[in-house]
Amino acid sequence: MTCSDTRQHGDFTRRRFLSGCAAAGMGAAFGGLWPAAARAAPPRRDRRGPPVQWKEAMFWEPAGDGRVRCTTCPNMCVRAEGEVTYCNTRINRGGKLYTLTYGRPCVISSDPLEKNPLFHVEPGSSAVATATAGCNLRCTYCQNWDIALVGPDRTRNMALSPEELVKRVKDRGLNWLTFTYTEPTAYYEYAVIAARIARREGVKVAVVSAGFINPKPLETLMACADAFSVTLKGYTQEFYREVCAGNLADVLRTLRTLARSRCWLEVVTLIVPQLNDDPAGLRSLAQGIAKMNPDIPLHFLRFYPAHKLQHLPQTPVQTLETAHATARAAGLNYVYVSNLPGHRAGNTYCPKCGRTLIQRVAFKVLSNEIRDGRCPGCGQRIPGVGLG
């Protein structure tokens, strides 16, 4: 998930976004012990949007005594009649698991692909970006906590079928649909069906995720997506458990699967002072990605105080620059500082001759010299999707 700012774009219908652009793929904010107890079912029709469409979840199994087990993500929630999963988006109704987010997005926007961030995907292009309420993590620094921490009964939603969503992309003359702002795993059914329709209509699909998803749902999503921006939040299980209420091994499994697939992958790490800024830890993180594929772009993001971590300072620029240099030394060919506008580490350079290939300021591409996927200076192949 990425964050947004306080301005409203296009036909936004959500309440607000916090300022800054620090938390791509960050999930929800801290909200109690993990895994949380099931909460009571929301009303069938909330007061601020369309009614629930009773769409059966794609991945679940019976758990005995009328209970169900959601198998979409590693939380593996078991819920009795009327109870809602940890992500706030699926409910046991009559011994079956149903999604509460299908066709009920709370965000619709037109965003540059660089915002996700996806720097090696059709530079300068924009996409229709969408999200519903909910998340299966509880990151203490979440920028979009007001829609990620809650269920769809607490957000202002619109009625928008997958077909209508794809039509909006085409009506705006765009070629990309992105699932972002909150965790697509929480609105998995809506995302997958919309992605399948998009592919049939010639629209490409990008997924911005924390990567906390089970293997079979991931494979199904990969079959109808073109690019992934996945947040690797830290390099220790302790950080994942205490700060994000997640599990590092599951995210690494997702990254390895994507690295072997046909889908384009970029990785994002938000550096939080005092929590995941150890140089040795960041070196090991970069080395792990380089072992998967040295051409995977790695984006370091600057932390901005938010939600439960407002007492911490912003990430020092020196920390970001050191992390950048360390990752390059670890063998990664493309390393970025992606939310520090104007910094040279936001540009794309040829790993062979050092030539500046794509120049950026914030999310705006100022120039792109890549021709036929190669550096015009030395002919080095530059990996990505539609680079030029």
Contacts of 371 (CB under 8 A, 6+ apart): 388
Asked whether residue 277 is assigned to any structural domain, the reply reads yes
Tally the domains of the chain: 2
In a domain, 357, yes or no: yes
**What would the pLDDT profile of 134-172 be if each residue is shown by its tens digit?**
999 999 999 999 999 999 999 999 999 999 999 999 999
Predicted TM-score (pTM) of this structure? 0.88
DSSP state letter for 95: T
pLDDT band at 49 (very low <50, low <70, confident <90, very high): confident
Give yes or no: residues 246 and 356 share one domain.
Answer: no
Same domain, 267 and 327: yes
Percentage with pLDDT > 70 across the chain: 88
Q: Tell whether 371 and 311 lie within a shared domain.
A: no
Same domain, 189 and 298: yes
On whether both 251 and 263 belong to a single domain, the answer is: yes
Please check whether residue 298 lies inside any domain of the structure. yes
User: Are residues 327 and 369 located together in one domain of the fold?
Assistant: no
Residue 25 has pLDDT above 50, yes or no: no
pLDDT of residue 23: 36
Same domain, 229 and 163: yes
Is 183 within a domain?
yes
Q: Same domain for 188 and 210?
A: yes
| 3-17, 48-62, 64-78, 212-226: range with lowest mean pLDDT | 3-17
Rounded mean pLDDT, 250-260 = 98
Check whether residue 358 and residue 296 sit in a common domain. Answer: no
- 367 and 287 in a single domain? The answer is no
pLDDT at 38: 52
Strand intervals (E) in the chain: 55-56, 60-64, 67-70, 78-79, 90-93, 96-99, 107-112, 126-131, 176-179, 204-209, 227-231, 264-271, 298-302, 335-337, 348-349, 356-361, 364-368
Task: Write down the pLDDT at residue 307.
Answer: 85
Q: Give tens-digit pLDDT for 295-352.
A: 999 999 999 998 899 999 999 999 999 999 999 999 999 999 999 999 999 999 999 9
Q: Is 37's pLDDT higher than 90?
A: no
Is 351 found in the same domain as 339? Answer: no
Residue 387 belongs to domain spanning: 347-388
Measured in degrees and rounded to the nearest 5, phi and psi for residue 347 equal: -90, 165
333 and 359 share one domain: no
Q: CATH no. for residue 117?
A: 3.20.20.70
Q: Please give the pLDDT value at position 13.
A: 33
